[in-house]
Amino acid sequence: GESVGLHLPTLSVQEGDNSIINCAYSNSASDYFIWYKQESGKGPQFIIDIRSNMDKRQGQRVTVLLNKTVKHLSLQIAATQPGDSAVYFCAENIKGAGSYQLTFGKGTKLSVIP
């Protein structure tokens, strides 16, 4: 079946470096994508979103890139900080019969080395 997946399950980066977390999706009907951050023992926290009519969106220290040709999504974190250590999920918003539902990837664990 169609699903959202992640290329790298773990990523370790030095504090201050940039981080790139990748995600592949296969549902061409998805029109909205979200990156969530999940710290241990907490619920997913929204980071940034992007609609399918865009290929790039920037937030504070974060950028999401969408390549619809290859169905690829990435999250770039600039000047990674220890507080960025968490599991990052990409999710696609798929319109079901009655409403939208989020389909999450498995997640990438980001570890920031001080």
Partner 1 sequence: EPEVTQTPSHQVTQMGQEVILRCVPISNHLYFYWYRQILGQKVEFLVSFYNNEISEKSEIFDDQFSVERPDGSNFTLKIRSTKLEDSAMYFCASSIGWSYNEQFFGPGTRLTVL
Beta strands in 29-81 (DSSP E): 32-38, 45-51, 56-58, 62-67, 72-77
CB 57 within 8 A of CB 50: yes
Q: Is 105 in the site for partner 1 (CB under 8 A)?
A: yes
User: Collapsing DSSP states into helix, strand and coil, what is residue 83?
Assistant: helix
Binders of partner 1 among 85-104, rule CB under 8 A? 89, 91, 93, 95-104
Please give the Cα distance from 86 to 75 (Å, whole number): 13
Q: Does 76 bind partner 1 (CB under 8 A)?
A: no
Is residue 45 involved in binding partner 1 (CB under 8 A)?
yes
Out of 2, 16, 46, 113, point to the residue binding partner 1 (CB under 8 A).
46
The verdict on 34 binding partner 1 (CB under 8 A) reads yes
Q: Provide the binding-site residues for partner 1, judged by CB under 8 A.
A: 32, 34, 36, 41-46, 49, 51, 89, 91, 93, 95-107
